[in-house]
Amino acid sequence: MDFENLPDSVTVVEEGEKRFFLVGTAHVSLESVEDVRRTVEIVRPDSICVELCPARHQAMTRRDDWKRMDIYKVIKEGKAVFLMVQLVLQAFYRKIGDKLGVQPGAEMMEGVRLAQETGATLVLADRDVQVTLKRVWGFLGFWKKFQLLSQLLASVFVDDDVDKELIEDLKKKDELAAIMGSFAENFPQIKERLIDERDIYLAQKIRKAPGTNIVAVVGAGHVPGMQKYFGQEIDLAPLEELPPPSRWGVFWKWGLPGFFVALLVIGFFRGGADASMDAISVWVLVTGIGAALGSLAAFGHPLTVLSSFLAAPITTLHPLIAAGWVAGLVQAWVKKPTVSDLEDLPMSVMTVKGFWINPVSRILLVVIFANLGATIGVFVSGSWIASMVF
């Protein structure tokens, strides 16, 4: 078979009787779409692998799934932050597509289409995006998480325009890597989980694809790293494990209530019942006001603001409940999203203003901001009470 006319973006790797054609693509390039088409036409592969996981594949092929989203379930399962990140990423991709005339991931969808058209086996070769994000997040220390969140919030809510330099980066790299690239310079752990681990994962999944001629559509930035892992048998189970709970998380859930109770006991022995009541009052007012201000910043309903105030003093001492969850459920109850709101959600989040206008995204903002306000209230009130006691 003559493979001389393959596009320059194709790297051929042989392993035994198998031959792999790695199409190194740019995620926002019409040329990459054509490269995928030409490669499949020349190779006529048994399998076509794409750098998508089932969740991302579903999101790209079933865009009306928003209509069936259960916002109450999202809040109760503690997935509001992950949904917010997903919305931000989708809005970002849509902006890129509007500027360049091609939607990011078009070359992946071309691979999916050609697999259906030619009868080749479709292999979704990437690791689940939720596992990747949780591994990135879970292996960061407390202060690194705080720094990363601060930078993400600043990048999302400060500037509506897509940076030209980032667009150029997206033309050359994996889309997740390009978006997180500026963070990876300050957080080496991000590169390890986001790029290096996925190089291994993609290579192993592609190696296992059925047939002898396999076309793999992957970001160009992955190709050099993936080549090192062909011919090796690597167990992927460790790369799919979620990180264990951090020590800070355990302390926050269980140590904080104990610390507060200890302060009350010490305060009682040093200053009597009045001192303990003063400490309780500080805790109730400061954590309650913090959560209420968070809900107010998200333009929550007055009942939502009130529920935030009432819930925060209790939920900040309860390891399994968060003030934002209570506030979000109340907001969803008083301003129940309609089917139309869910349909408009992807377009609404194209702008910062849209986040506050759409009832669905406003619920998510209520959850996040109420939790943030309650957390700040914990630090402020805890320091205040400690100074009163000692």
Q: CA-to-CA distance for 253 and 307, rounded, in angstroms?
A: 21
Q: CA-to-CA distance for 35 and 260, rounded, in angstroms?
A: 62
Query: What is the token pair recorded at 388?
Result: 């009163």
Residues 6 or more apart from 107 whose CB is under 8 A from it?
23, 25, 26, 27, 29, 32, 33, 35, 36, 217
**Where is average pLDDT lowest: 27-41, 114-128, 258-272?**
258-272
**Where is average pLDDT lowest: 50-54, 180-184, 323-327?**
180-184
Question: What beta strand segments (E) does 148-240 contain?
Answer: 213-219
Query: What is the token pair recorded at 317?
Result: 């001492």
**Where is average pLDDT lowest: 181-190, 194-203, 269-278, 325-334?**
181-190
Mean pLDDT calculated for residue range 209-227: 93
DSSP state of 93: H
Q: Which residues of 168-202 are buried (b: 16+ CB within 10 A; e: fewer)?
A: ebbbbbbbbbbbbbebbeebebbbebbbebbbbbb
Q: CA-to-CA distance for 354 and 359, rounded, in angstroms?
A: 10
| 147 HSE (CA, 13 A, CB side) | 12
CB count within 10 Å of CB 374 equals 31
Starting at the edge strand that comes first in sequence, how are the strands of the sheet with 121-124 ordered? Answer: 10-15, 18-25, 213-219, 47-50, 121-124
DSSP assignment of 281-322:
HHHHHHHHHHHHHHHHHTT--HHHHHHHHHHHHHHTT-TT--
pLDDT at 81: 72
pLDDT at 93: 63
pLDDT at 372 over 70: yes
Q: Using DSSP bridges, classify how beta strands 47-50 and 121-124 pair: parallel, antiparallel or unpaired.
A: parallel
Q: Locate tokens 């320059």: which residue?
A: 8
47 neighbors 11 (Cβ within 8 angstroms): no
Where are the chain's structural domains? 10-139+191-240, 247-389
Q: CA-to-CA distance for 283 and 176, rounded, in angstroms?
A: 41
C-alpha closest to that of 301 among 351, 365, 344: 365
- 143-183 pLDDT, tens per residue? 666 666 666 555 555 444 555 555 555 555 555 555 555 55
DSSP state of 46: S
Q: Is the pTM of this model over 0.75?
A: no
Q: Output the CA angle 182-239-107, nearest 5 degrees.
A: 60
- 11-35 pLDDT, tens per residue? 999 999 999 999 998 766 678 889 9
C-alpha closest to that of 207 among 44, 15, 12, 11: 15
Reduced to 3 states, what is the DSSP secondary structure of residue 8?
Answer: coil
pLDDT at 65 over 70: no
Please report which residue ranges of 119-174 form alpha helices under DSSP H.
129-138, 142-157, 164-172
Higher pLDDT, 293 or 176: 293
Residues 6 or more apart from 218 whose CB is under 8 A from it?
22, 23, 24, 25, 49, 50, 51, 125, 202, 226
- Phi (first) and psi of residue 26, to 5 degrees: -105, 135
Residues 6 or more apart from 206 whose CB is under 8 A from it?
20, 22, 49, 123, 125, 214, 216, 226
| Total residues belonging to the chain | 390
